[in-house]
Amino acid sequence: MSRRRGVLGCLLPLSGPFALFGEEALNGIQLGMDIFGGPGKGPVRELVIMDTQGQPEIAASAVEELADREKVVGIIGPLSSKTASAVAEKAQEMGVPVIALTQKEGITKGRGMVFRNFLTPTRQVDRILQAAVDEMGLRRFGILYPDNPYGRFYMSLFWRELNKKGGVVTAVESYDPDKTDFADEIRKMTGLYYPRPPSLVVRLRAESPMEEEENELTPKEPAPIVDFDAVFIPDTYQRVAMIAPQLVYHDVLDVQLLGTSLWQSQKLIELAGEYVQGAIFPSGFYGDYDDPALKAFVESYRANFESEPGILAATAYDTMRFLQKVMAQRQVRTRKDLREAILWSDGFHGVTGKIFFDIDGEVERKPILLTVRGRRMRLYR
C-alpha cells in the first residue's frame, strides 16, 4: 500500500474536557513544523489533524482513517491515558509508528511501532522522593489525592515507592474531583473529624498545659495532629490552588508540599502563590535557561499564542523537530523506515533536553525539579 511521503497524522483532544491540553500540544507541533515562518523547508510537508475528543473509540477509529485513507507515514499523539491504549493497540495492528505524548505506563511494552516522549509517573515519583527522602531527610508523608484514575494511580505509586525508601504514610485521604471545599478531608488527615478517644485528649492536654482557670473558662478548639512532614497532592494546578490555602486555614503549617508535573503553571502562583512557596514538583521543561534555542522557542510561542509555553507545548515542539531531523537524515519513504529512523537515531537536542529512545520505545530523559520562589518557578537546587 502506498504512503504519502512527508505526511504525518496528529491525534489530540481538541474538544471535550482535555481540549486545553490538546490545543497547547498542537501549538507546539505547529511551531515545530515552522508554519508561522512561511512554507517549511523540512521533510514534513503536511500534518493531518484529527480530534480524539478524549474518547478511546474515536481515537482508535482516527488511527484507521489516518493509516488507510490519509496514508500517513507516522502519527504524533495522543495525550490522555484513556485514549493511549486504544491508539497504541490499533497503531501496532496497522503497522504505523506513533510517538505518544502520554504518561500512561506500559504503553510501549511489546509494541514495536509505539514510542513515548513524555515523563512517566514512575520517573516523576522517583525524582520527588529522591529530593524529599534522600536530600531533605523526610520520613513521614501525607497523601491527599483526587478519587479518579489519575489520583488513585499516583497515590498507589507514591506509597509503594516510598515504602522502598523506608518512609511511611501517616495520613491519606481522597476527595471528589469536583469538590472545592476540602475541610472534611483535611480534618480527617489531622485527627479533627472524628471524636478523639479520652486517653488521647488527656495526653494532649498534658503536653500543652494551660492555667486551670483559663482551661475552665475558655474551652479551646482541639489542635490538629500533623504527624507528617510533607503532603503529596497529585492533581492539577487549579485544584492545588484551592487546596493549599485550606491547608493553612486548618493549621497544617510548615509541611513540604509535593506535586506532579500538572502543577507547572504560572497561574498556580497567580492564584495561590503565598501558599505554595517552596513546593516542589517534577517537570521535563524549564523556560528560563540561558540558551539561544530555548529563548527563541519561548519568544516565538509568546508572539504567536500570547501565552507562556508549558511542558506539553515544549514536548510536542521537540517531537516534531525530532521527526523533522530523523526524516531528513534517513530519507524516510515508508513506515518501517520511520520506525527504524526513530529507534536508531543518535538523538536530538531540543528545548526539553536530548531526545532519544531506548529499545522499548521509551524516551531516555530524567525529569528536573521545579520549586516556587516568590512570584516565579525556579529550578530546585
Spatial distance between the Cα atoms of 318 and 355, rounded to a whole number of angstroms: 8
Q: What would the mean pLDDT of 197-225 be, rounded to a whole number? A: 55
Burial class of 96 by CB neighbour count within 10 A (0 to 12, 13 to 18, 19+): buried
The sheet carrying 74-76 orders its strands as: 46-51, 7-12, 74-76, 98-100, 114-116
The sheet carrying 140-146 orders its strands as: 168-175, 140-146, 230-232, 256-258, 280-283, 368-373, 376-379
Q: What would the mean pLDDT of 298-307 be, rounded to a whole number? A: 93
Cβ 129 vs Cβ 146: under 8 Å: no
Q: What is the pLDDT of residue 308?
A: 87
Q: What is the pLDDT of residue 203?
A: 56
Reported confidence tier of residue 165, pLDDT bands at 50, 70, 90: very high
Least confident of 43-47, 88-92, 157-161: 43-47
Q: What is the pLDDT of residue 202?
A: 52
Residue 328's closest CA among 343, 319, 318, 338?
338
Q: What would the mean pLDDT of 92-121 be, rounded to a whole number? A: 93
Burial class of 79 by CB neighbour count within 10 A (0 to 12, 13 to 18, 19+): buried
Separation in Å, CA 92 to CA 12, 43, 50, 96, 211: 18, 24, 19, 7, 74
Reported confidence tier of residue 213, pLDDT bands at 50, 70, 90: very low
* Inter-residue long-range contacts of 85-94, CB under 8 Å, 24+ positions, other chains counted: 85/56, 86/56, 86/57, 86/59, 86/60, 87/11, 87/52, 87/59, 87/60, 87/63, 88/114, 89/60, 90/60, 90/63, 90/64, 91/63, 91/67, 94/63, 94/64, 94/67, 94/68
Judged by DSSP in three states, 51 sits in strand
Spatial distance between the Cα atoms of 132 and 165, rounded to a whole number of angstroms: 11
Residue 315's closest CA among 290, 338, 285, 356?
285
Residue 41 confidence (pLDDT) above 60 = yes
Give the CA dihedral 286, 287, 290, 295, nearest 10 degrees: 150
Query: Which is more confidently placed, 304 or 211?
Result: 304
Q: Say if residue 222 is preceded by a cis peptide, omega within 30 of 0.
A: no
Q: What is the pLDDT of residue 152?
A: 96
Query: Which is more confidently placed, 307 or 220?
Result: 307
Reported confidence tier of residue 212, pLDDT bands at 50, 70, 90: very low
- The percentage of the chain sitting over the pLDDT mark of 90, rounded to a whole number, equals 71
Q: What would the mean pLDDT of 261-285 be, rounded to a whole number? A: 93
Reported confidence tier of residue 211, pLDDT bands at 50, 70, 90: very low
Three-state SS string across 140-176, please? EEEEEEECCHHHHHHHHHHHHHHHHCCCEEEEEEEEC
Average confidence score pLDDT of the chain: 89
Least confident of 5-9, 211-215, 251-255: 211-215
Query: Which is more confidently placed, 7 or 366?
Result: 7
* Inter-residue long-range contacts of 293-299, CB under 8 Å, 24+ positions, other chains counted: 293/349, 293/350, 293/351, 294/351, 297/31, 297/351
DSSP tag of 10: E
Cβ 163 vs Cβ 223: under 8 Å: no
Cβ 328 vs Cβ 243: under 8 Å: no
Residue 11's closest CA among 89, 92, 68, 65?
65
- C-alpha cell belonging to residue 373: 520562589
